[in-house]
Structure 1
């Protein structure tokens, strides 16, 4: 059963801006529409994702990050449930559950950082 996502935001302007960017980022995956990524991702963005295990892979630069997230958002038969987004200043933690096309699922978190209104860092971790 899908639960409503919880969003916790510290009450300062930077946190509100980061929360809005995270809302738009999460919408990409909820609506399976990566169109917004180009304006959300910084030129110098870096992703350290969860595969291949155990350390994942590093993706650097806007094109690489937008490409990776676009592929994840549009992968047939998959979906994300957002469990919680916590925002404090330029940092956000997104707790999620990813349902794969084969029916299995994994839980994980993304540790995100925003600078100058764009995502500059995303570190992904999953439960083993």
Structure 2
């Protein structure tokens, strides 16, 4: 049976679901072995992770954290690039949240690059 690659929309729907539902298993076959992500922390430069396992470990840590509430906003697709804004909450206080955006490049149904940015 020939397997077809997921569309960018399918990848992003599953990626966002992993974080919304706190289910890192949804990420397992979405990440390319040569994936690179640039994270927002630690400030001010963030961290760079290279390779599928390193990227999966970082995202699994975040997705599995039930203390974080991830709310994706409407994603815009520009060729192989998904521009994915979001809101992240970590408490019930008035200032316990931040807005951000991920720039996620997808090829052949897998994430190959992601860069995260926060609004300060």
| TM-score normalised by length of structure 1 | 0.83
Q: Which has the higher helix share?
A: 1
Q: 2:82 aligns with which of 76, 83, 92?
A: 92
TM-score of the two chains, using structure 2 as the length reference: 0.89
How far does the alpha carbon of each residue in 1:61-107 deviate from its partner, in whole angstroms, 9 at most, with x for none? Answer: 11111110011011132111112211122110110000014640010
- Corresponding pairs, count: 114
Give the whole-Å Cα distance in 1 for the aligned partners of 2:13 and 2:98: 21
Instruction: Within 5 Å, give how 1:109-124 maps onto structure 2.
Output: 109-124=101-116
Gaps of 5+ in 1: 1-13
Aligned to 1:40: 30
Give, in whole Å, the separation in 2 of the partners of 1:76 and 1:18: 26
Change in Cα spacing, 1:67 to 1:101, as seen in structure 2 (3 Å) is: farther
Runs of 4+ residues over 6 Å off in structure 1: none
Match of 2:56 among 58, 66, 85: 66
CA pair 102-56 structure 1, distance change in 2 beyond 3 A: farther
